[in-house]
A = this chain, B = another copy of it.
Amino acid sequence: MTSPAIPGGVTAAGGFSAAGVSCGVKKKGPDLALVVSDRLASAAGIFTTSRATAAPVLVSREHLRVSGGQARALVANSGCANACTGPAGLEAARLMAVETARAVGCEVEHVLVASTGVIGVHLDRQKVGTGIIGAAGALHRDGHADAARAIMTTDPRPKEHAVRVETPSGAYVVGGMAKGSGMIEPRMATMLGFLATDAAVAPGLLQRALVDAAADTFNAITVDGECSTNDSVFALANGMSGVAVDERSHEGFVEALRAVCRELALGIVRGGEGATRLVTVHVTGAVSDADAKGAARAIANSPLVKAAVHGGDPNWGRLVAAAGRSGSAFEVEHARVAIGPAVLFADGRPFGGRAPDAARHLAGREVTLAVDLGTGGPHEATMWTCDLSAEYVRINAEYRT
């Protein structure tokens, strides 16, 4: 089953509307996004593994628990992370939900909350409150683009994607939007993802599908190895299409969700700070899934590998070094390293003469780095990252004020 891409982002699915408005938390530009389902939807969420959890994450987790996985609205602000803000921050996040519930006309626990921006700064509750009322008044079936823009910090482009899924019992749509990866901006933080479908999916099944789809998409990208205090991905399923997803049709639904997550995740990497290239790291020949992922992650986060890609330098020794220090089982005498189509190291032998082919591949915008760990094991993993440029340092070394 192929699911054709369609326009419409987070409001592509039936029964969803959205808005993005300016409320003054950021110095300029839209900074408050609202996504609302016409009727109560199944809801799922996955969150940062950081122990410095931001207030909106605590509130959203609580609401998903109390509601048994149901929601009507997602509200998000950019410009302030509402993290490390103590009891006052928690109150501010709760108030965002209260104001949204009032404006939309739903229970407080049916509102999910997200924030992204500076850590350790208090959220201006008045501004956010005014923004929520404005956004509720601006809700629109085509509000997806405004909403996608309102969650951006320094993301160079908004990130939206949607697919239409045909099934024997009818069609449904999965749409979504996301903002920048890692801690993508000097003052800002966080990756956020919002997914909306008009399939009918029970909360438990939706949660499982979201975890599955995120595993090799949102959880397989890295810009700078930094996991933020606010990372959140939510999915809403309102059933408006009349198509129900059950255990039998679950795999097709996960595929569609994964397709949307993957596109959004790659968009995040392409828009990484200072990034000029999308890098696919593919590791094979691992004795376990954890080893495959561990080696892929070590390579994808290696500043030396990323700087070499930026410079177009086919320095494959750095790939071996990163894989070797990753802790994953690695047998150098059977390992294999390729940059694009050029195998530069195999069976303990370097192939220096192929460096020009590798350099040509590195000159492109999309780069593939492949390492076989040489253990003969059947496990493999893919991660996506971007190159490391002087621009990344420049952006992140600037004074906040």
Q: Determine the chain B residues whose CB is within 8 A of the CB of A388 once the complex forms.
A: 393, 397
Q: Determine the chain B residues whose CB is within 8 A of the CB of A352 once the complex forms.
A: 120-121
Q: Is the CB of B350 within 8 A of A398?
A: no
Name the prevailing secondary structure of the A interface residues: loop
**Bound Cα distance from A310 to B399, whole angstroms:** 10
A46 at interface (Cβ–Cβ under 8 A)? no
From 301 to 326 in chain A, residues with beta carbon under 8 angstroms from any chain B beta carbon are 302-304, 307-308, 310-313, 315-318, 320-325
The interface stretch among A49-57, A105-113, A136-144, A170-178 is: A49-57
Q: Determine the chain B residues whose CB is within 8 A of the CB of A400 once the complex forms.
A: 313, 315
A332 at interface (Cβ–Cβ under 8 A)? yes
A325, A344, A345, A350: most-surrounded residue (chain B CB, <10 A):
A325
Which chain B residue lies CB-closest to A311?
Answer: B397
Q: Is the CB of B226 within 8 A of A325?
A: yes
Interface residues on A, range: 35 or more
Q: Is the CB of A320 within 8 A of B229?
A: yes
Q: Is the CB of B311 within 8 A of A52?
A: no
Q: Determine the chain B residues whose CB is within 8 A of the CB of A384 once the complex forms.
A: none
Q: Is the CB of B312 within 8 A of A399?
A: yes
User: Can you show 28 pairs from A to B with CB atoms below 8 A apart?
Assistant: A48-B325, A51-B325, A51-B330, A51-B331, A52-B323, A52-B324, A52-B335, A83-B317, A84-B350, A86-B347, A86-B348, A119-B321, A120-B320, A121-B350, A224-B304, A225-B302, A226-B322, A227-B325, A229-B324, A303-B303, A303-B392, A307-B393, A310-B393, A313-B399, A388-B393, A389-B393, A389-B397, A393-B393
